[in-house]
Structure formats: C-alpha cells, structure tokens
Amino acid sequence: MTTASKLSPAPTSSNNIYVNAEHVLITPAALRAQMPLSDEGRQFVHQSRKTISDIIHKRDPRLLVISGPCSVHDVEAAKDYARQLKVLHDKYQGSLFIVMRVYFEKPRTTVGWKGLINDPKMDGSFEVEMGLKKARELILYITELGLPIATEALDPISPQYLAEVFSWSAIGARTTESQTHREMASGLSMPIGFKNGTNGSLGVAINALQSAASSHHFMGINRQGQVALIQTRGNPDGHVILRGGSAPNYDEKNIEKCEQALAKQGLSPGIIVDCSHGNSSKDYTRQPLVAQDVVKQICAGNKSIIGIMLESNLNAGNQSSDLAKDKLAYGVSVTDGCIDFAATEQLLAETDAQLSACLASRIS
Ligand SMILES: O=C[C@H](O)[C@H](O)COP(=O)(O)O
Ligand SMILES: C=C(OP(=O)(O)O)C(=O)O
C-alpha cells in the first residue's frame, strides 16, 4: 500500500464506476397485458412455428423464405411491406413458406444505431420503453395480417417482452459463439438458426447447435422482471445459417462441407442460406444470383437446404441512419442495402415456378 497522501479520494462505491444512470423499465408482464397477443394470434404463431419445424425436419418439402428489411426503423413502412409480402405469402404457399424478417436489434461491428428498440427516435435519446412498445405494436399488426415473423435474438432480456410473437429467430454471426446466446436459444420457444461466424467459421455454428439443443441453467429475468434462475430443456429445432465470411459459402462445395460437419456430430442437416452479408459480398444486388444458385442446387436434388434469407425492403439500397428524420427516404434501409419489393416479387415468382416442378422429389 502506498501512503495515504498519495491516494486519490476513494469513490463511495467500487461498483458502477462507469455507469451514468439507470432507468427502471415497464415489466414484460405489464407490457404484455397492455398489448396482448390474441388467442387467434397465439394459435397462428404456434402453427407457424410447427410448419417451420416440419420444414427443418423434412416433414414439409417447402422452402422457408425469410424476407424483409435489414432493420426496421419506420413502423408504418414496415406495415406497408408486410401487407405486400402477405400477398406473396398466400400466392406461393404451395412451394414457399414466406416469413417476414422483422429485425429490431442490430449487432454492430463497432458502434452505430442499434435498432428500433434501443433508439426508436434515432436521435440518441434511447427511449427503450417506447422502442419495446413500437416493436410490439408492429409484430401484433403483422400477426393479425396472418404473416409469420422472424427476428434476431440479440438482447437476452427482450424475449420476455416480444418472443411469444416470433415464429423463427436467428443468433447472429457476432454472437453464435457466445454462451449467453446459446443458453438463451436453448429456452426460446421457436426454431433457431445459428449463423456461421463473420470470418466464415462454420465450427462455431455447429458447436452452438449442440449447446442450444442441451439443457442449461443460467441467470435471466422472468415475466415479472425479476432476476431468476432459468432452467431450459434445450431447443430441438436448431439449424445452421450460411451467411458467408470473407468469401461466400453457398456453393455446392460449401453446402457439402456443412452437411458433412453436421453429420459428423450426428446433427440433422438443416441449412438456410443467407443470400446477403458475406454471401452477396455485401452487394445487395447480388442476392437474387445467390438465391437462384441455391434453388438450382435444390432442383438438382439437394435435400439439406431448407431455406433462404433475403434482405429486402420497399425500395432498394440503403441510406445513413444519421440523416434527419425529414430527409430519410421512405422504405429504404438505414443499415445494410436491400433489394426492392419488385425484385423480391420477381425472385419469389421465379423460385416458386422452379420449385413447384421439383417439390415432390424433396419428400424423402
Ligand atoms: O446486418 C446488418 C449488419 O451487417 C450488421 O448489423 C453489422 O453492421 P455494421 O458492420 O455496419 O456495424
Ligand atoms: C446482422 C445480421 O447478420 P450477420 O449476423 O450474419 O452479420 C443480420 O442478418 O442482420
């Protein structure tokens, strides 16, 4: 110990040194009571989850299509997108099971806007309670339309507020290796896809599948917002999402490599191809090319590919999330670039036409 004269004054607590403030939020139970999921909505989510599980386990030969904006920042534009996607959902239900990508939480490489829940006004005011309410309002609306919803499970607390409405979730490339996310996935009620790592590593996703299929005990919150010991059974509907890394990984060789890695661990081969991110080399216009290649593989006999993911919005490209509200273009992503709705519609029409011809051969 140095002498007292050399010591700086001790803080009054040795904890929270770098914490500026804490604000207590509405509890999950209170939010759910204020904005309830109807009985019909619950039944719809249950049925949608079951359909996705059937696709994963090859009891349903259709292709799962997860399509929607990289992130939601404008609830009205997202509703507009949902209404248009619902038409395609119904039209192509013979060959495709179309689910809307509704991403509220963005994992950033360094820093940046972290999504509608974290900062709904996009101005650094971080009104998280407003974000949770806007998110819940949107997913209840989409459910009422009769369109299933997919999201990324990033924050380990938000599922108590929203997850009852989601039919599918992803664990992202930046968190697939995280024990916290694997534990959370082991208790989530919907099928969960694990992305390969941002560097392309497949091993982290395979390890995650094994972990999330197992039972875990960990600290979390309950519906009343209390810290609780959560004990899970393990999620039986895990699968891999190939999203590419420094190079794409959707080609036949990489799909085969993934099938072999899954088989080696005794895991059933369920693979979704994310047509964006590393697989499009971050060029959104390449997404249809990726999807077409994947559909070609399926029609050539591949049985392990169960779905595709598209980053799609009303309008093409992206714009900065730093723009003033009145300068933001309608229906354009503020995160990764997206294909527009017309391109999405054309791609899904082509996919339906090609798959319809080879669907029967997918039933093993
Ligand atoms: O899907 C979205 C982005 O790729 C992800 O959130 C990372 O974004 P960033 O690298 O711009 O932070
Ligand atoms: C962040 C995403 O993807 P990834 O985790 O693959 O980077 C995403 O799908 O929005």
In total, how many domains does the chain have?
A: 1
0.90 exceeded by pTM = yes
Residue nearest to atom 2 of ligand 2 (CA): 172
Q: For the chain, report the end-to-end CA distance as a whole number of angstroms.
A: 72
Q: Which two tokens stand for residue 163?
A: 């997850």
Q: Which two tokens stand for residue 209?
A: 């599948």
Amino acid residing at 43: Q
C-alpha of residue 31 to centroid of ligand 2, in Å: 27
**20 lies in some domain:** no
**58 lies in some domain:** no
Q: Which two tokens stand for residue 162?
A: 């929203």
Q: What is the ipTM of this complex?
A: 0.97
Q: For ligand 1, is residue 107 a contact (CB within 6 Å)?
A: yes
Residue nearest to atom 12 of ligand 1 (CA): 108
* pLDDT of res. 9: 80
**230 lies in some domain:** yes
| Residue length of the chain | 364
* pLDDT of res. 332: 98
**286 lies in some domain:** yes
Q: E strands along 176-252, which residues?
A: 192-195, 217-221, 227-231, 238-242
- Number of Cβ within 10 Å of residue 206's Cβ equals 20
Helix axes 75-91, 128-145, angle to 10 degrees: 20
**123 lies in some domain:** yes
Contact between 312 and 340 under an 8 Å Cβ cutoff? The reply is: yes
- Using alpha carbons, select from 156, 75, 71 the residue that is nearest to residue 114: 71
Low-confidence ranges of the chain (pLDDT < 50): none
Query: What's the CATH number where 279 sits?
Result: 3.20.20.70
C-alpha of residue 248 to centroid of ligand 2, in Å: 14
- How distant is the alpha carbon of residue 357 from its chain centre? 29
- Number of Cβ within 10 Å of residue 123's Cβ equals 12
- Number of Cβ within 10 Å of residue 111's Cβ equals 6
Mutate to test the pocket of ligand 1, among 66, 72, 108 (most ligand atoms within 8 A of CB): 108
**271 lies in some domain:** yes
Chain segment 190-227, per-residue pLDDT in tens: 999 999 999 999 999 999 999 999 999 999 999 999 99
* pLDDT of res. 359: 86
**177 lies in some domain:** yes
- In ligand 2, which atom is closest to the CA atom of 336? 10
**242 lies in some domain:** yes
List own/partner pairs for 129-136 with CB under 8 A and 24 or more apart: 129/25, 129/26, 131/104, 132/25, 132/26, 132/31, 132/158, 132/161, 132/162, 133/31, 133/35, 134/75, 135/72, 135/104, 135/161, 135/162, 136/31, 136/35, 136/161, 136/162, 136/165
C-alpha of residue 173 to centroid of ligand 2, in Å: 6
* pLDDT of res. 207: 98
C-alpha of residue 175 to centroid of ligand 1, in Å: 13
The residue range of the domain holding 304 is 26-51+63-362
- In ligand 2, which atom is closest to the CA atom of 175? 5
Mutate to test the pocket of ligand 2, among 66, 102, 174 (most ligand atoms within 8 A of CB): 174
* pLDDT of res. 147: 99
Give the position of tokens 């929270």: 16
